[in-house]
Structure 1
């Protein structure tokens, strides 16, 4: 599947400020706030972190309340070990939000707070939420045949089989389309019958990408504009969708990814603004969506389940997706180890952007376990 293709596309979008896959000799720029005069610093929180409600940074400014490691009783030595590990693994940006406040904000090399980076398939989580918003607005139903929002003949199959594929199948990777040739190509000649819908789970990118057109046609709104109006602007995200080959990739800075994680942590509400009111859809999106891969929701990865399937494989693997992570963790996971972790039980959001840290992947990888083993040591001294 030419997974090195992803390394190429990360550097092919000319507008992006910075993109790197080799971080030899990087110096860590740690931006954990130091304990200064708290009485003169309104961004510093003086309460007990265990009792704090969720904080939401302003939508129209770059202000963001922060914790020190001391306030959280986190281990600074283990934080140094984590940072060294991340640097060795080609990380560009790493954030940890606790109760919505910045607990860790690290950048490496020439990457900065404003530098944009691709989310790769972690961006699927944005699309999943957009489908839910469109359904809430009665623009579509996830039970709709895809054909009702795309022209007949969007596949290379007879109409009866084509019409059996629903938006739910696109969200859950259960379309039954043949994934053995090219998982990215969504030209009709690339979309052939292999299984009936709902019969098998396989990580097939092309049906997912076609959700862009489904959303645009159903809402009569450009996909990029729909994202901006419904998600980006209401929560203060900065970012752009960029077409690269067959893929529509989202690029943003790390804080914007953190904002989206915070929105998900609060189940679709940004402070007192409801981005997604339909909590039934939200719960379905972030829970087991089908029996073939219990570790997958609607384009979200789920931890703590009894087994999982991985991109590029037909095998079922026993055990939890990330054994060292909290069992209620949900994640957006992208090629070359782009990570968005959301942990409701701990009020945590964790962001990692950077180069490939684990021998090429399209989603889950051994790097997940490496991060969480070391992050646990920081948070549990």
Structure 2
């Protein structure tokens, strides 16, 4: 006997089946994902990662050579040459920091290269004592590019006072040790890419939590969201605090390059997304071509438009972010807002298209 209750259950079941079958027609394309991940990874390594690390190492060796000259003769001419080589290396670093994978992740390379603001008290204590372990995590904020920034621009009120500091052998030794460590660490990471890790990386083509593309796309988004959007713009502008924090800008002691570094970082991110090779016009398989393969040309266009919009906002800022924050911080927060729009496109829409899960904890509520 068919009761009224059974009839209702049958109707509900039928409605659920119809609803589920029709919903699949309304979302993004369900095209089979047969994209050649290996080609993307190969292009990434051979045309961007290794060339960028090679260029960074060339710049760091030039920095090291100029440091050696300066230590022998700490005069104004040699100080300027040393500063210029530091700037050139720091600009290249903006194309390398995103690659926190493989040996770089193992060594916590980025933490030993670019933790800012640098800790002046730790640096001065290290110099005073003359004994220190620069690889210790407690010294992460006393080494790398930010530490050299302080040592070249911040240890005196003017250049004469800075040069006088280097009459003390302890300051010479610390400057030398910090720069030598940067070059040494970079060589270790570069050698690993060129010998062992390249093969491991390009052959890991599965869609798993530990495969190369899944890990790197997460690193890419994490860097964009935290390393670029938050660290370079949002934190100094006060987006995560009750008041602006201009002392937290990158290159605090040579503030005139803060915008230049941010633009270098954004350009590097967009070139990675589009598959443009480092320092050449070569275009290869990329996140862009992967999305196009999945019929998500719309998302490609949106992401590039948002990158371009963010660049316009950053370009409108003062070269010196400290001045910008203290005179018209609204423009800084507008730049942050423009960068934030791309976070949604990358972290939600692109990852969904690739069927990749987020593997990092979001700490700032986005």
Structure number with greater Rg is 2
Same fold (TM over 0.5): no
Q: TM-score, normalised by structure 1?
A: 0.28
Q: TM-score, normalised by structure 2?
A: 0.29
